[in-house]
Structure formats: C-alpha cells, structure tokens
Amino acid sequence: MRGWLRRDLRAAVCLAYLAGLVLLAVLAPWIAPYSPTAQKGAEALADPSAAHWLGTDDLGRDVLSRLIFGAPASLYASFLAVSIATGIGVPFGLLAGLLGGWVDRIISRLIDTLLSFPGIVLAIGVTGALGVGLTHGMIACGLVFSPTLARLARAQTLVVKNELYVDAARCFGASTGRILLKHILPNAVQPLIVQLTLLLAAALLAEASLSFLGLGVQVPQPSWGAMLARAYTYIDIAPEQMYAPGFAILLTAMAFNGLGESLRDVLDPTMKRR
Amino acid sequence: MNRRWRMLGERLSQVIPVIVLATIIVFGLLQLVPGDPAMTLAGEQATDERIAEIRHLYGFDKPFLVQYGTWLGHAAQGDLSRSLLSGERVVTLIGQSFPHTLTIVVLALLISLLVGVPLGILAAMRAHTRADTAISALSSVGVAIPNFWLAMILVTYFALGLGWLPATGATPLGESVVGSLRHAILPALALAAGGIAELTRQLRSALLEVLSSQYMRTLRAKGLSETAMICKHGLKNVGVNLLTVIGLLFNRLLGATVVVEAVFAIPGMGSLIVRAAINKDFPVVQGVVLSMVLVVVATNLLIDMLYSVLDPRVK
C-alpha cells in the first residue's frame, strides 16, 4: 500500500484530499467558525473578510461554514447511494453469473432495460414517487447505479466460476451460498472496488444535481448542490457565490475519479496502463 | 441486404422484452408512492371527490396487473392520460417540450464530436508527451465538472456579462433557426464538456490499441507517415468504438440536459419532469420517463444497424 502510494502520486494526492474531507465532515461542528444556518441580515452578500473568509450568502450566513457543513451531506449521500447500488447490484450479478439459464436471462434483460433509462431521469422519477429529500434521492440513485455493478459482478463471476478451485469446492459439497461468498466474491472483488470508487463520483454529482433541482437536500440544510441552487437565484447580483460550492464538488468528484483510475491500474489486470 | 433485414428482426426480438420491462418499471414507479397513492397524488387539501377521481383514474382499487394492462393499452394508443396539475394531455406536453430538449442534445453531441475527435487523435499521436498530459488533465476536469455549474458560469460571462447570447428561454426551431441556435448554444456547450472528455479518452485508448497492432507495424515499416496511418487506417478501425461511445453519450446527454435546462429556464423535458416530480404530477413523470427510454432504445437500435454497415465482421 505504502509502496503503491509512493509510486503513484495521483493516488496519494486523491487519497489525502479525501481523507482530509472525511475528517472535515466528521469534525464540522468543531471546525466551522459559525453555525451553517445562523442568519445576519445586515451582513448579506458580504465580500470575503477576516470574520467571513469566503463572505456571506444572501441571508448573511457564513459561506465557509455552510461549505464545511455541506461536506457531511455530500459524503453521506455518495456513500448511501453506492451502498444501496452494491447491495442490490452485486448479489443479482453474482446469482446471474453463477446460476446461468433462465435466471441469468431475466436478470440480464433487467440490467439492459435499467441501463436504457437516462440515469438522472429515472432517479427523478423514483424520487418523485418516494417524495423529495436527500435520503429518497440517494435511494433512487442507488437503484439507478445498481445495474452497472450487477453487469460487472456477472461478468466477473462468469470468468471465475470455471476455475479449478470452484470445481473443487463444489466436489467437497459446498453450498451455492458458500461458493459465492468464499470463492467467487473474493476473486471478483477487485474490478468491483474500482467501479465503486468511480460511482462515488457519479453519486456526488447526482446528489448535487438533485439538490440543485430542489429534489434532494431541503432548506435550510446545507449541501453543495443546494448552495449552488441558492446562488443561482441571485446570479446577476453576486455571481461569485457559485465558485466555492462548485469547486468543492468538482475537486471531490475529481478525487474519487482519480483514485478509481489509479486503483484500476493496480487492481484490474485487464486494464494495462497505456 | 436480406441478411441485414434478418439481423434487424433478431435485434427487434431482443428489444421488445426490454421495452416491455421498461413499461413495467415506469408503471411500477407508482407502487413506490408511500401510503395511499390516490391521497398522496391528490395533495394535502384534496376533496374526497378528487381522491376518488384519481383512484378511479388509476384504478388503484384493482390488482396491479389489471392496472398495468389498462395503462399499457392506453399508452400503446398514444394516450398517456392527463396532467393532474393543468389537465392537459401528457402527450401534448411532451410534444411541446421534446423538440427543445432534442435541439440541445443534438447540438451538444455535434460539439462533442467536433472537439473530442481531433483532441482524441492528437492525444493518441502524441501519447506520453506534454500535449497528451494536458489533454488528459483537461478531460479529468470535463468528466467531473457538474454541468449545471458550468452552465451557470457560461451564463455569467457570455449572457449576463458580455451579452452575446440570451441567458434564458428557448425558440422553437421551426420559428427561427438562428434564434433557436442562439438559445441552444450555451446549454449545449455546458452539456458538451462531459461529452468531449469522454470521447477524447475513449478515442485515445482505442487508437493506441490499433496503433500497437501488427498491421500498423507493417505500415510503419513501409514508411507510411503517422498522419496517414491514423487517418487512413486507424480511424476506420475505431469507427465501431466511436459509435458505441456516441450511443452511450446520447443516453448520458438526454439525462444531463434535465439539470442544464433548469439553469436556462428552457421549457424542455427536464423542466417538465422536475416540476411534475416536485408536485407529484405522476402521469407527466411517467410520460417523460417512458418517452425518454423509448428514444434511447430506438437510438441504440439505429446504432446497432450502423455497426453492420461499418464493420463487415458484425453478423
């Protein structure tokens, strides 16, 4: 691990950034200089100063504090969506790959179908049905991401299941569940980890989009997407309000993507570094 | 030609189950509504008559399969019910909105191709040089940038700041081509950032793979220039990869446009579904999702047909 980080500067930078972000999210109440919802009408849309490093928004709330408190919301959203996608997608993919036959045909058709929906459109539809809100939005995203993982888990299972050690386990009378958990999953897990990391970036962007549209985080809870939505309403007066949350989203998504690509270089034997 | 028709038939037999499953998913969205769906859809201050009307409209009192069958029967005849908000026919609403969305998406696809293809070729020809590193850094940004944020930046500088282009709204293509393009160019640029990045990356890696093949070595040994190799032989061999990427990109852009439309207040499919989702106007939500997935399926079918034209090996 340490050797890998020393050789791969990108991975080291991304990991350090993300570790810092997680720390920031956990310690937000102690680090942030103000409450994210404390309003001071007299100081609305103030320029950056010693008291407010990134200025204040239209309600006089400290932008830096809202940015810091937006981190836990965004990270929670990303991890929730990806966990749900894993929980649904991986078992279905493993089963389809291992069992084959009609189970595989049905699951594969379902994967094809779900992948035919433009992701965010289906997510909006599901959120609309469940009711708006961050958790509902991320359940919707998890559902939308699950076929990607299912397809990958299925493909990996097809590769692994004909290995000699799986045959051996079967000969010793191991149950299907045991074969899946003990023999197939561990050997199929590396490409999945790569995909999970990349999906974290997609989930972060999806959360920002849904919150921007008013379907995710609800006022006054801070989130980077919601901050952008707020900034959009007075874009003609104070366009600089959109830079802090925008860069927070961009850098975090780049860090997840960068880490995912670095992981792919070391974990995925089919992807040679070109 | 005969073979091609047979292939179309085969593909259709694979597409039909996907369409059937898609309609089940779209209709099934209603099952996710918590509690009594009729009461939820009718809103908080609904009268008992309104609730009864909605319950009857959807047939919530009947079993799922009966509800689905009735809905599908109507949908197949082009009847997607009416909006719970405005009472307008959903098909009419979609007919008004879709051209705006399609204009932006097609323009974004064209921009992605016009910029992404040359960048991808350049990156492959100059692989592992500074130019390649710069292009790959740019595409990392392009993939990760929230497109609605990019849209806001474009509005600030090119619409509000310089006043070159309108900040909001849309003009139908039939009314004025120039006006329509002027409204579509900023949204399309915001959308295209991700498309350019994706195309550049895919094209670069596909070209590099072709360039390292045996016959390319032969051509190089014959003394063919690097440019001629790429233009005459490389691109021909990555055409299929390019088509695949375009198909995926179209799907992605159709989704992304939903958020970008909100920034430019474009009365397209995105604005339609977002307003409907917030107000629980479910017939409209279902109509938009269904029409989007049908468009994607049809595009994929078209692309599959193009494969057989481009690549004689595809049977």
**Of A222-231, B64-73, B221-230, the least confident:** B221-230
B140 with B179, same domain? Answer: yes
Checking if the pLDDT of A2 tops 70, the result is no
Which pLDDT score is estimated for A88?
Answer: 95
How many percent of chain B have pLDDT more than 90? 23
Question: Which residues of B are less than 8 Å from A127 in CB distance?
Answer: 277
Checking if the pLDDT of A271 tops 60, the result is no
Which pLDDT score is estimated for A4?
Answer: 74
Question: In Å, how far is A109's CA from the nearest CA of chain B?
Answer: 6
Which pLDDT score is estimated for A100?
Answer: 87
Count of residues making up chain A: 274
Query: How far apart are alpha carbons B27 and B22 in whole angstroms?
Result: 9
Query: How far apart are alpha carbons B40 and A194 in whole angstroms?
Result: 40
Q: Which of the listed residues B50, B76, B102 is the one where a domain comes to its end?
A: B76
Phi, psi of B184 (to 5 degrees): -90, -20
Cβ-in-10-Å burial (0-12, 13-18, 19+) of A78 comes to buried
B258 vs B160, more confident = B258
**Could you give the 3-state DSSP secondary structure of residue B267?**
coil
Q: Which of A213, A219, A241 to mutate to test the interface with B (most CBs of B within 10 A)?
A: A213
Which pLDDT score is estimated for B1?
Answer: 57
> How many domains are there within chain A?
1
B160 with B271, same domain? Answer: yes
Query: How far apart are alpha carbons A125 and A117 in whole angstroms?
Result: 11
Q: Which of A104, A109, A113 to mutate to test the interface with B (most CBs of B within 10 A)?
A: A113
**Of A91-95, B18-22, B225-229, B277-281, the least confident:** B225-229
Domain hosting residue A162, numbered range: 4-271
Per-residue pLDDT reduced to its tens digit, A29-46: 887 777 777 777 667 677
B121 with B270, same domain? Answer: yes
**What Cα–Cα distance (Å) separates residue A274 from each residue in A139, B120, B124, B239?**
36, 14, 10, 20
Phi, psi of A61 (to 5 degrees): -90, 145
Question: Which residues of A are less than 8 Å from B293 in CB distance?
Answer: 116-118
Domain hosting residue B9, numbered range: 2-76
Neighbouring C-beta atoms of residue A230, cutoff 10 Å: 21
Q: Which helix (H) or strand (E) holds B86?
A: none
In a domain, B89, yes or no: no
How many percent of chain A have pLDDT more than 90? 37
B71 with B99, same domain? Answer: no
Helix A134-160 × helix A63-99 angle, to 10°: 40
Which pLDDT score is estimated for B113?
Answer: 93
B269 with B230, same domain? Answer: yes
Residue ranges of alpha helices (H) inside chain B are 2-28, 37-42, 48-58, 64-76, 90-125, 130-144, 147-154, 177-211, 214-221, 226-228, 235-264, 269-278, 282-310
In DSSP notation, chain A reads: -HHHHHH-HHHHHHHHHHHHHHHHHHTHHHH-SS-TT---GGGTTPPP-SSSTT-B-TTS-BHHHHHHHHHHHHHHHHHHHHHHHHHHHHHHHHHHHHH-HHHHHHHHHHHHHHHHS-HHHHHHHHHHHH-SSHHHHHHHHHHHHHHHHHHHHHHHHHHHTTSHHHHHHHHTT--HHHIIIIIIHHHHHHHHHHHHHHHHHHHHHHHHHHHHTTSSSPTTS--HHHHHHHHHHTTTT-GGGGHHHHHHHHHHHHHHHHHHHHHHHHH-TTS---
Confidence band of A272 (pLDDT split at 50, 70, 90)? very low
Which pLDDT score is estimated for A274?
Answer: 40
Phi, psi of A62 (to 5 degrees): -70, 120
Quick one: average pLDDT of B166-179?
A: 73
* Closest partner CB to B152 (pick from A119, A120, A235): A235
Which pLDDT score is estimated for B105?
Answer: 93
Checking if the pLDDT of A256 tops 90, the result is yes
* Residues B285, A249: C-beta atoms closer than 8 Å: no
- Cα B50 to chain centroid distance, Å, stands at 36
* Residues B277, A132: C-beta atoms closer than 8 Å: yes
**What Cα–Cα distance (Å) separates residue A62 from each residue in A226, A228, A244, B119, B236?**
15, 15, 12, 42, 56
Per-residue pLDDT reduced to its tens digit, B4-19: 777 778 778 888 888 9
In a domain, B260, yes or no: yes
Tell me, what CATH number does B103's domain have?
A: 1.10.3720.10
> How many domains are there within chain B?
2
Confidence band of A270 (pLDDT split at 50, 70, 90)? low
B42 with B167, same domain? Answer: no
Quick one: average pLDDT of B174-193?
A: 82
Per-residue pLDDT reduced to its tens digit, B62-91: 777 888 888 888 888 877 777 877 778 888
Question: Which residues of B are less than 8 Å from A88 in CB distance?
Answer: none
In a domain, B81, yes or no: no
Query: How far apart are alpha carbons A28 and B191 in whole angstroms?
Result: 33
Question: In Å, how far is B111's CA from the nearest CA of chain A?
Answer: 20
Question: Which residues of B are less than 8 Å from A131 in CB distance?
Answer: 34
In a domain, B82, yes or no: no
Query: How far apart are alpha carbons A271 and A260 in whole angstroms?
Result: 12
Tell me, what CATH number does A66's domain have?
A: 1.10.3720.10
What rounded mean pLDDT belongs to chain A?
Answer: 85
Residue A16: partners with Cβ closer than 8 Å, 6 or more residues away: none
In a domain, B38, yes or no: yes
Above 0.95 for ipTM, yes or no? no
Tokens of B16: 């039909």
B169 with B258, same domain? Answer: yes
CA-nearest residue of chain B to A139?
B32
Question: In Å, how far is B32's CA from the nearest CA of chain A?
Answer: 6
Question: In Å, how far is B182's CA from the nearest CA of chain A?
Answer: 20
Which pLDDT score is estimated for A8?
Answer: 82
Place of tokens 């950034």: A17
Which pLDDT score is estimated for A269?
Answer: 58
**Of B96-105, B140-149, B176-185, B291-300, the least confident:** B176-185
0.95 surpassed by pTM: no
Quick one: average pLDDT of B109-133?
A: 89
**What Cα–Cα distance (Å) separates residue B21 from each residue in A94, A116, A130, A227, B58?**
21, 11, 21, 38, 20
Quick one: average pLDDT of B133-143?
A: 89
CA-nearest residue of chain A to B299?
A116
Checking if the pLDDT of A273 tops 50, the result is no
Query: How far apart are alpha carbons B260 and B271 in whole angstroms?
Result: 9
Checking if the pLDDT of B312 tops 80, the result is no
Which pLDDT score is estimated for B28?
Answer: 86
Per-residue pLDDT reduced to its tens digit, A163-190: 888 888 888 888 888 888 888 888 788 8
What rounded mean pLDDT belongs to chain B?
Answer: 84
Per-residue pLDDT reduced to its tens digit, B139-169: 989 989 999 999 999 888 887 777 777 777 7
In a domain, B134, yes or no: yes
Checking if the pLDDT of B106 tops 90, the result is yes
